Amino acid sequence: MAAHSSKLAYLGEEPDLIGYLFTGLSLGAYAAITPGPFQAFLLSQTMKNGWRRTLPASLAPLITDGPIIALVLLVLTQTPARLLNSLRLAGGVFIIYLAIRAFIGLKNLEATLAASPAAARQSFWPAVLMNGLNPNPYIFWSIIAGPILLEGWRQSPGLGLSFAAGFYGTLIGGFAGLVVLFAVARRLGPAVIKLLSAVSAVALLAFGLYQLWAGLRLWL
């Protein structure tokens, strides 16, 4: 693709680091604040374990997105859509499992509020697995971010790295900000915690059922 044909990634007619950085910052902010299963999961874990134990979960994309990006750029764009559908089904099942756990946790609110320090690890690794099974990052990188990253990298590795740095800077920062924001609501008392926990559980269940429905619909 010619340099002048991608206005999204540039501030002017010529490609530059600031242009790719700004594009990454914008897309990262969009991905962080767009409601999805990962945001609902962060809400659920913050209500249950507090912000300090949940904050490491906001780093999950740094673990999962490397393989996702490699898969998208090297394989997924040349692979039948059934691969993505299978991933959607697996992600839906896992999200529903997390929703069931969240509903069960509502019955033992006082115990969950007294979570042990090990809860940080219990939040982080489910977050990693959820993000790896969530088809949204695959779709996002194959349709939106992947072409921008490739275009920049082909012109100069620095352009691609600038885009990635901007994207993950705002994505991880946005997730961390959401955790802190949820924690502020958590301090309003057990009634608010229970309400928000129920909302997050319903949201997780809805996301999981939607992914199952979407995956099954494409298979049938």
| Average pLDDT over all residues of the chain | 75
The boundaries of the domain holding residue 34 are 21-219
Q: Residues 9-60: pLDDT tens digits?
A: 434 444 588 888 988 898 888 788 776 778 888 888 887 788 888 888 899 8
Report d(CA 100, CA 136) in Å as an integer: 22
CA gap 175, 205 in Å, rounded: 20
What angle, rounded to 10 degrees, do the helices at 60-74 and 157-186 form?
Answer: 140
Q: Of the candidates 152, 164, 165, which has an alpha carbon nearest to the alpha carbon of residue 3? A: 152
Taking a C-beta distance cutoff of 8 angstroms, is the pair 59, 198 a contact? no
pLDDT of residue 6: 43
Asked, for residue 8, whether it belongs to a domain, the answer is: no
- Residue 182's pLDDT band (boundaries 50, 70, 90)? confident
Tell whether 40 is covered by a domain. yes
pTM comes to: 0.67
Query: 210 lies in a domain?
Result: yes
Structural domains counted in the chain? 1
7 falls within a domain: no
The per-residue pLDDT for 164 is: 93
Question: Is residue 2 in some structural domain?
Answer: no
Max Cα separation, the chain? Answer: 59
Tens-place pLDDT, residues 103-154? 776 666 555 444 444 555 557 778 888 778 777 787 778 777 887 887 788 7
- Picking from 154, 175, 139, 181, the residue whose alpha carbon sits closest to that of residue 41 is 175
Residue 4 banded pLDDT, cuts 50, 70, 90? very low
Q: Which long-range contacts (CB under 8 A, 24 or more apart) does 183-191 make?
A: 183/46, 183/50, 183/51, 183/54, 186/46, 186/47, 186/50, 186/51, 190/109, 190/110, 190/113
Amino acid at 95: I
Considering the domain boundaries, does residue 62 fall inside one? yes
